[in-house]
Amino acid sequence: MTVHIGAKPGEIAETVLMPGDPLRAEWAAQTFLDDAVCVNRVRGMLGYTGTWKGHRVTIQGSGMGMPSLSIYANELLRDYGAKTLIRIGSCGAMQERIAIRDVIIAMTATTLSTPSRGIFRELNYAPCADYALLEAAVAAARTRDVGVHVGGIYSSDVFYDERPDLNDQMVRHGILGVEMEAAELYILAARHGARALAVLTVSDHLLTHEALPSDQRERSFGDMVEIALEAAFA
């Protein structure tokens, strides 16, 4: 048991999927895992452990933003022995060719700042995904009837962004989408010798201003969860 995760020793699997929304963690566990048991309710940040095709999996909410994710990822890696962390979440598309409901698999994560920035001092560390996970996720995605895009994303510090000039540069340099957690996840996994990946569903589009209605978001996220599970155990 840690400050933020109430699971007992042995209740967290080595493979953890991390949605930001704790209710999405509950939905994914109930939808995709067998014998799912709630192992964390601290601060309402739900976590469940069950099995997928015989493999133990934990699905643990991370909250919104890198500071929140950093708390949960640190404790999962340091105190519970997690070896593979895969973020499953939504993102906003930043390229015209990307459509709502498409899946983005994040190879790299550009950012202005992360909770880990202080330890790097003047160094601009380049957070990237684990290649084996990335390769397996791309293979899994291409067997499904879903648009898939692989490349760099932008992990933002803020949701209500007032820097259109910065977004213009992201678009200009080929960044596929924006979200708020992956860069810190990739850094922490590297620090602890673990594997990390972000598999994201496009829920909004920064250029066309399209957006999935809230009642359609969960139904559109199934492909993302299955891609993450298949990649974890490829």
195 is in an annotated binding site: no
Is 204 part of any known ligand binding site?
A: yes
- What letter would DSSP give residue 14? S
The response to whether 180 counts as a known ligand-binding position is yes
Q: How far is CA 141 from the centre of its chain?
A: 16
Q: How are the residues of the chain apportioned to helix, strand and coil, as percentages rounded to the nearest 5?
A: 35, 30, 40
Q: Is 173 annotated as a binding residue?
A: no
224 assigned to a ligand binding site: no
144 is in an annotated binding site: no
CA distance 196 to 13: 15
Catalytic residue among 79, 157, 161, 204: 204
Q: Where are the beta strands (DSSP E) in the chain?
A: 15-18, 34-40, 47-52, 55-60, 84-93, 103-111, 148-155, 177-179, 195-205
90 among the known binding-site residues? yes
Catalytic annotation present for 204: yes
24 labeled binding residue: yes
- Compute the distance between CA of residue 198 and CA of residue 18 in angstroms, rounded to an integer: 9
The Cβ of residue 162 has, within 10 Å, a number of other Cβ atoms equal to 7
**Is 88 known as a binding-site position?**
yes
Q: Is 81 annotated as ligand-binding?
A: no
Residue with token string 């960044």 = 175
Residue 149 assigned ligand-binding role: no
- How far apart are alpha carbons 23 and 234 in whole angstroms? 27
> Which of the residues are catalytic?
204
Annotated binding site for a purine D-ribonucleoside: 4, 179-181, 203-204
Annotated binding site for phosphate: 20, 24, 43, 87-90
Annotated binding site: 4, 20, 24, 43, 87-90, 179-181, 203-204
